[in-house]
Protein backbone atom coordinates (compact mmCIF):
# COMPACT_ATOMS: atom_id res chain seq x y z
CA UNK A 1 0.00 0.00 0.00
CA UNK A 2 1.00 3.58 -0.38
CA UNK A 3 1.19 5.71 2.71
CA UNK A 4 -0.07 9.15 3.55
CA UNK A 5 -0.52 11.75 6.21
CA UNK A 6 -1.49 12.25 9.78
CA UNK A 7 -0.04 13.86 12.90
CA UNK A 8 1.09 12.68 16.29
CA UNK A 9 -0.88 11.96 19.44
CA UNK A 10 -0.81 9.38 22.16
CA UNK A 11 -3.19 6.63 23.16
CA UNK A 12 -4.20 7.73 26.60
CA UNK A 13 -7.59 7.95 28.29
CA UNK A 14 -8.58 7.33 31.87
CA UNK A 15 -10.79 4.42 30.84
CA UNK A 16 -9.27 1.34 29.21
CA UNK A 17 -9.68 0.34 25.62
CA UNK A 18 -10.92 -3.21 25.35
CA UNK A 19 -8.00 -5.25 24.11
CA UNK A 20 -8.31 -6.54 20.58
CA UNK A 21 -9.24 -10.19 20.53
CA UNK A 22 -6.74 -12.33 18.67
CA UNK A 23 -7.68 -13.79 15.34
CA UNK A 24 -5.84 -15.16 12.36
CA UNK A 25 -6.53 -12.76 9.51
CA UNK A 26 -7.68 -14.38 6.30
CA UNK A 27 -10.25 -13.97 3.56
CA UNK A 28 -12.90 -15.85 5.57
CA UNK A 29 -12.79 -13.65 8.66
CA UNK A 30 -11.86 -10.18 7.45
CA UNK A 31 -14.22 -7.62 8.95
CA UNK A 32 -15.41 -4.62 6.95
CA UNK A 33 -14.53 -1.37 8.70
CA UNK A 34 -11.78 -2.94 10.80
CA UNK A 35 -8.14 -1.91 10.44
CA UNK A 36 -6.64 -4.02 7.66
CA UNK A 37 -3.17 -2.50 7.37
CA UNK A 38 -0.81 0.14 8.71
CA UNK A 39 2.11 1.73 6.96
CA UNK A 40 4.74 4.36 7.43
CA UNK A 41 5.42 7.36 5.23
CA UNK A 42 9.00 8.46 5.80
CA UNK A 43 11.72 10.73 4.49
CA UNK A 44 14.38 8.08 5.16
CA UNK A 45 13.27 4.62 4.13
CA UNK A 46 16.66 3.00 4.72
CA UNK A 47 16.83 4.53 8.18
CA UNK A 48 13.28 3.42 8.96
CA UNK A 49 14.02 -0.14 7.93
CA UNK A 50 17.08 -0.19 10.19
CA UNK A 51 15.15 1.31 13.11
CA UNK A 52 12.04 -0.87 13.08
CA UNK A 53 13.87 -4.12 12.44
CA UNK A 54 16.01 -3.38 15.50
CA UNK A 55 13.11 -2.34 17.72
CA UNK A 56 10.56 -5.04 16.84
CA UNK A 57 12.69 -7.81 15.36
CA UNK A 58 10.99 -7.45 11.99
CA UNK A 59 12.53 -8.41 8.68
CA UNK A 60 12.08 -6.18 5.64
CA UNK A 61 10.90 -7.27 2.20
CA UNK A 62 11.63 -4.36 -0.14
CA UNK A 63 9.91 -4.46 -3.52
CA UNK A 64 12.15 -4.41 -6.57
CA UNK A 65 9.18 -3.41 -8.73
CA UNK A 66 9.71 0.20 -9.84
CA UNK A 67 5.95 0.75 -9.79
CA UNK A 68 6.03 0.54 -6.00
CA UNK A 69 8.97 2.89 -5.42
CA UNK A 70 10.80 0.58 -3.04
CA UNK A 71 7.73 -0.04 -0.89
CA UNK A 72 8.74 -2.28 1.98
CA UNK A 73 6.69 -4.90 3.77
CA UNK A 74 7.70 -5.65 7.35
CA UNK A 75 7.49 -9.30 8.35
CA UNK A 76 7.26 -10.90 11.78
CA UNK A 77 8.33 -14.54 11.58
CA UNK A 78 7.37 -14.44 7.91
CA UNK A 79 3.95 -12.84 8.54
CA UNK A 80 3.07 -9.43 7.09
CA UNK A 81 2.51 -6.89 9.87
CA UNK A 82 3.15 -3.41 8.40
CA UNK A 83 4.57 -1.49 5.47
CA UNK A 84 6.75 1.53 4.75
CA UNK A 85 7.31 3.81 1.79
CA UNK A 86 9.16 6.99 0.92
CA UNK A 87 7.27 10.27 1.09
CA UNK A 88 6.62 11.75 -2.33
CA UNK A 89 8.27 15.04 -3.25
CA UNK A 90 4.93 16.86 -3.37
CA UNK A 91 3.76 15.60 0.04
CA UNK A 92 4.27 18.28 2.72
CA UNK A 93 3.20 16.08 5.63
CA UNK A 94 5.73 15.00 8.25
CA UNK A 95 6.68 11.33 8.56
CA UNK A 96 3.78 9.39 10.04
CA UNK A 97 1.99 6.08 10.43
CA UNK A 98 -1.32 5.58 8.60
CA UNK A 99 -4.28 3.28 9.27
CA UNK A 100 -6.28 1.60 6.49
CA UNK A 101 -9.80 0.30 7.15
CA UNK A 102 -11.11 -2.67 5.22
CA UNK A 103 -13.83 -2.30 2.62
CA UNK A 104 -15.23 -4.74 0.09
CA UNK A 105 -16.04 -1.92 -2.33
CA UNK A 106 -13.68 1.06 -2.37
CA UNK A 107 -15.80 3.01 -4.85
CA UNK A 108 -18.91 2.70 -2.68
CA UNK A 109 -16.89 3.67 0.39
CA UNK A 110 -15.72 6.82 -1.41
CA UNK A 111 -19.36 7.76 -1.99
CA UNK A 112 -20.29 7.17 1.65
CA UNK A 113 -17.29 9.21 2.81
CA UNK A 114 -18.55 12.20 0.83
CA UNK A 115 -22.10 11.68 2.14
CA UNK A 116 -20.77 11.65 5.71
CA UNK A 117 -18.93 14.96 5.36
CA UNK A 118 -15.48 13.65 4.50
CA UNK A 119 -13.26 14.46 1.54
CA UNK A 120 -11.88 11.83 -0.82
CA UNK A 121 -8.30 12.83 -1.61
CA UNK A 122 -8.15 10.79 -4.80
CA UNK A 123 -10.23 8.14 -6.48
CA UNK A 124 -9.33 4.61 -5.34
CA UNK A 125 -6.17 3.27 -6.96
CA UNK A 126 -5.89 -0.29 -8.23
CA UNK A 127 -2.52 -1.61 -7.09
CA UNK A 128 -1.74 -4.62 -9.29
CA UNK A 129 -1.77 -7.98 -7.54
CA UNK A 130 -2.45 -6.32 -4.18
CA UNK A 131 -5.83 -4.57 -3.98
CA UNK A 132 -7.48 -1.18 -4.23
CA UNK A 133 -6.44 1.72 -2.01
CA UNK A 134 -8.29 4.90 -1.14
CA UNK A 135 -7.40 7.88 1.01
CA UNK A 136 -9.68 10.46 2.57
CA UNK A 137 -10.02 13.15 5.19
CA UNK A 138 -12.75 12.30 7.66
CA UNK A 139 -15.32 14.73 9.02
CA UNK A 140 -12.97 15.80 11.82
CA UNK A 141 -9.96 16.50 9.60
CA UNK A 142 -8.03 13.27 10.20
CA UNK A 143 -6.59 11.33 7.27
CA UNK A 144 -7.82 7.74 6.98
CA UNK A 145 -7.03 5.10 4.41
CA UNK A 146 -9.26 2.32 3.15
CA UNK A 147 -8.34 -0.95 1.51
CA UNK A 148 -10.24 -3.32 -0.76
CA UNK A 149 -8.27 -6.57 -0.51
CA UNK A 150 -6.91 -8.45 -3.47
CA UNK A 151 -3.64 -10.34 -3.37
CA UNK A 152 -2.87 -8.58 -0.08
CA UNK A 153 -5.82 -9.23 2.26
CA UNK A 154 -4.20 -7.19 5.02
CA UNK A 155 -2.39 -8.18 8.19
CA UNK A 156 -1.15 -11.74 8.46
CA UNK A 157 -0.91 -11.11 12.20
CA UNK A 158 -1.92 -8.51 14.74
CA UNK A 159 -2.64 -8.32 18.45
CA UNK A 160 0.47 -10.31 19.22
CA UNK A 161 3.97 -9.36 20.29
CA UNK A 162 5.66 -7.39 17.52
CA UNK A 163 2.46 -6.63 15.61
CA UNK A 164 -0.07 -3.79 15.56
CA UNK A 165 -2.57 -4.05 18.39
CA UNK A 166 -4.17 -0.62 18.98
CA UNK A 167 -5.82 1.75 16.53
CA UNK A 168 -7.11 5.04 17.88
CA UNK A 169 -8.54 8.19 16.36
CA UNK A 170 -7.79 11.35 18.34
CA UNK A 171 -10.85 13.38 17.34
CA UNK A 172 -11.40 17.11 17.65
CA UNK A 173 -15.17 16.58 17.25
CA UNK A 174 -16.15 13.36 18.96
CA UNK A 175 -19.79 13.35 17.84
CA UNK A 176 -18.89 14.11 14.22
CA UNK A 177 -16.33 11.30 14.26
CA UNK A 178 -18.92 8.82 15.50
CA UNK A 179 -21.40 9.81 12.81
CA UNK A 180 -18.74 9.68 10.10
CA UNK A 181 -17.40 6.20 10.83
CA UNK A 182 -20.88 4.79 11.46
CA UNK A 183 -21.97 5.91 8.00
CA UNK A 184 -18.80 5.63 5.92
CA UNK A 185 -17.54 2.33 7.34
CA UNK A 186 -20.70 0.87 8.94
CA UNK A 187 -19.25 0.86 12.44
CA UNK A 188 -21.37 -0.40 15.32
CA UNK A 189 -20.18 1.95 18.03
CA UNK A 190 -20.29 1.36 21.78
CA UNK A 191 -19.47 3.99 24.38
CA UNK A 192 -16.95 3.48 27.14
CA UNK A 193 -16.99 4.92 30.63
CA UNK A 194 -14.72 7.60 32.02
CA UNK A 195 -13.12 10.81 30.84
CA UNK A 196 -12.09 11.80 28.23
CA UNK A 197 -15.00 10.24 26.38
CA UNK A 198 -14.22 7.34 24.11
CA UNK A 199 -16.08 4.92 21.89
CA UNK A 200 -15.12 1.58 20.43
CA UNK A 201 -15.95 -0.19 17.18
CA UNK A 202 -17.04 -3.72 17.98
CA UNK A 203 -18.17 -6.53 15.72
CA UNK A 204 -19.21 -10.02 16.76
CA UNK A 205 -17.80 -9.45 20.24
CA UNK A 206 -14.43 -8.16 19.02
CA UNK A 207 -13.09 -4.66 19.48
CA UNK A 208 -11.17 -3.28 16.52
CA UNK A 209 -10.65 0.46 17.00
CA UNK A 210 -11.34 3.39 19.28
CA UNK A 211 -12.34 7.03 18.96
CA UNK A 212 -11.03 9.34 21.69
CA UNK A 213 -12.57 12.73 22.47
CA UNK A 214 -9.38 14.78 22.25
CA UNK A 215 -10.94 18.22 21.78
CA UNK A 216 -9.19 19.65 24.85
CA UNK A 217 -5.82 18.19 23.91
CA UNK A 218 -5.57 18.98 20.21
CA UNK A 219 -4.44 22.25 18.67
CA UNK A 220 -2.76 23.79 15.67
CA UNK A 221 0.38 21.73 16.30
CA UNK A 222 -1.54 18.55 17.12
CA UNK A 223 -4.41 18.08 14.64
CA UNK A 224 -6.87 15.16 14.61
CA UNK A 225 -5.24 11.93 13.48
CA UNK A 226 -5.12 8.17 13.67
CA UNK A 227 -2.46 6.47 15.79
CA UNK A 228 -1.01 2.99 15.84
CA UNK A 229 0.14 0.95 18.81
CA UNK A 230 2.41 -2.09 18.56
CA UNK A 231 2.33 -4.85 21.15
CA UNK A 232 5.50 -5.63 23.10
CA UNK A 233 6.31 -7.84 26.06
CA UNK A 234 8.48 -5.34 27.94
CA UNK A 235 7.88 -1.60 27.63
CA UNK A 236 11.15 -0.51 29.23
CA UNK A 237 13.27 -2.87 27.13
CA UNK A 238 11.51 -1.70 23.96
CA UNK A 239 12.05 1.94 24.86
CA UNK A 240 15.73 1.24 25.46
CA UNK A 241 16.09 -0.44 22.06
CA UNK A 242 14.26 2.41 20.33
CA UNK A 243 16.41 5.10 21.92
CA UNK A 244 19.59 3.13 21.15
CA UNK A 245 18.45 2.88 17.53
CA UNK A 246 18.02 6.66 17.26
CA UNK A 247 14.40 7.08 18.33
CA UNK A 248 13.00 9.47 20.92
CA UNK A 249 10.93 8.78 24.02
CA UNK A 250 8.02 11.20 23.62
CA UNK A 251 5.80 10.00 26.48
CA UNK A 252 7.42 8.08 29.35
CA UNK A 253 5.89 4.70 30.24
CA UNK A 254 2.62 4.82 32.12
CA UNK A 255 0.16 2.25 33.42
CA UNK A 256 -3.47 1.90 32.33
CA UNK A 257 -6.06 -0.59 33.56
CA UNK A 258 -5.42 -2.96 30.67
CA UNK A 259 -1.65 -2.71 30.47
CA UNK A 260 1.26 -0.35 30.09
CA UNK A 261 2.10 2.17 27.35
CA UNK A 262 4.83 4.47 26.08
CA UNK A 263 4.94 6.97 23.24
CA UNK A 264 7.92 6.98 20.86
CA UNK A 265 9.03 8.60 17.65
CA UNK A 266 11.39 7.10 15.11
CA UNK A 267 14.54 8.93 13.90
CA UNK A 268 12.51 10.79 11.25
CA UNK A 269 9.86 11.88 13.74
CA UNK A 270 7.00 9.44 13.04
CA UNK A 271 5.08 8.87 16.27
CA UNK A 272 3.79 5.50 17.50
CA UNK A 273 2.77 3.82 20.74
CA UNK A 274 4.09 0.61 22.24
CA UNK A 275 1.66 -1.34 24.40
CA UNK A 276 2.14 -4.17 26.83
CA UNK A 277 -0.94 -6.07 28.04
CA UNK A 278 0.64 -6.50 31.48
CA UNK A 279 0.99 -3.49 33.75
CA UNK A 280 4.13 -2.95 35.82
CA UNK A 281 3.94 -3.42 39.58
CA UNK A 282 5.41 0.03 40.24
CA UNK A 283 3.43 3.24 40.54
CA UNK A 284 2.24 4.67 37.19
CA UNK A 285 4.76 6.96 35.54
CA UNK A 286 1.90 9.14 34.29
CA UNK A 287 -1.86 9.01 34.38
CA UNK A 288 -3.45 7.83 31.18
CA UNK A 289 -5.40 11.06 30.84
CA UNK A 290 -2.29 13.21 31.10
CA UNK A 291 0.04 11.14 28.96
CA UNK A 292 0.19 13.02 25.66
CA UNK A 293 3.15 14.40 23.72
CA UNK A 294 1.94 17.88 24.58
CA UNK A 295 1.86 17.36 28.35
CA UNK A 296 5.01 15.26 28.35
CA UNK A 297 6.99 18.38 27.48
The per-residue DSSP string of 145-199 comes to EEEEESS--S-S--SSTTSEEEEEEEESSHHHHHHHHHHHS---EEE--SSS-EE
Residue 172: band (very low, low, confident or very high) from pLDDT cuts 50, 70, 90:
very high
Q: What does the pLDDT look like over 88-100, one tens digit per residue? A: 878 788 999 999 9
How many angstroms separate the CA atoms of 284 and 210, rounded?
A: 23
pLDDT digits (tens, 9 = 90+) for 185-204: 999 999 988 788 999 998 88
Least confident range from 50-54, 62-66, 131-135, 217-221: namely 217-221
Arithmetic mean of pLDDT over the chain: 84
Instruction: Summarize the confidence of residues 177-183 as an average pLDDT.
Output: 97
Cis peptide, bond prior to residue 196, ω within 30 of zero: yes
CATH number at residue 271: 3.10.180.10
Q: Are 176 and 189 in contact (CB under 8 A)?
A: no
pLDDT in tens, 219-250: 666 789 999 999 999 999 999 999 999 999 99
Looking at the structure of the chain, the number of domains it has is 1
**Complete edge-to-edge strand list for the sheet that includes strand 198-203:** 189-191, 198-203, 206-213, 164-171, 225-231, 271-276, 259-265, 248-256
Q: Which domain holds residue 229?
A: 1-297
**Which carries the bigger pLDDT value, residue 293 or residue 152?**
152
CB-count exposure of residue 66 (10 Å: 0-12, 13-18, 19+) = exposed
Neighbours of 88 (CB within 10 A): 13
Taking the alpha carbons at both ends of the chain, their separation in whole angstroms is 34
Amino acid sequence: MLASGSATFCDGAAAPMHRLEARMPGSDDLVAGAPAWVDLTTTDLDGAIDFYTRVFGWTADRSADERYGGYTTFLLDGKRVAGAGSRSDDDPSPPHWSVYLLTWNAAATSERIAEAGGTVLFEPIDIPEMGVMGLAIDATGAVVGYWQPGGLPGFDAFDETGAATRFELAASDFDAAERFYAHAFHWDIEHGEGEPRYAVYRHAGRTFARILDAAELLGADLPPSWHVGFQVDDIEATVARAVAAGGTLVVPPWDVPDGRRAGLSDPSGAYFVVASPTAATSEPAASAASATPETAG
